[in-house]
Amino acid sequence: MIKFIIPAVIFFLIVLFWEKINEIIYKKFKVKINKIISIILLVILGLIVALLYY
């Protein structure tokens, strides 16, 4: 039961404080977190396609 509740609470807190998290990362690194996430997703999708192709 706990293994379902803890990730749900963490996910809820990330969604709730998304703007503050985004501002903090932008102030430190001058990069929007949305760009970082989209790059990571593209890399993961590229790896999956490469693994399926070869």
| φ and ψ at residue 19, rounded to 5 degrees | -65, -40
Question: Which structural domain, as residue segments, surrounds residue 19?
Answer: 2-53
pLDDT by residue (tens digit) across 3-54?
Answer: 889 989 998 998 899 889 888 888 888 877 778 888 899 999 999 999 998 7
Please state, in angstroms and rounded to a whole number, the distance separating the CA atoms of residues 29 and 11: 23
Q: What confidence score (pLDDT) does residue 31 get?
A: 78
* Number of domains composing the chain: 1
Which residue is associated with the tokens 């989209």? 38
Backbone φ and ψ for 20, nearest 5 degrees, come out as: -65, -40
Residues 6+ apart with CB under 8 A from 34: 22
pLDDT for residue 44: 95
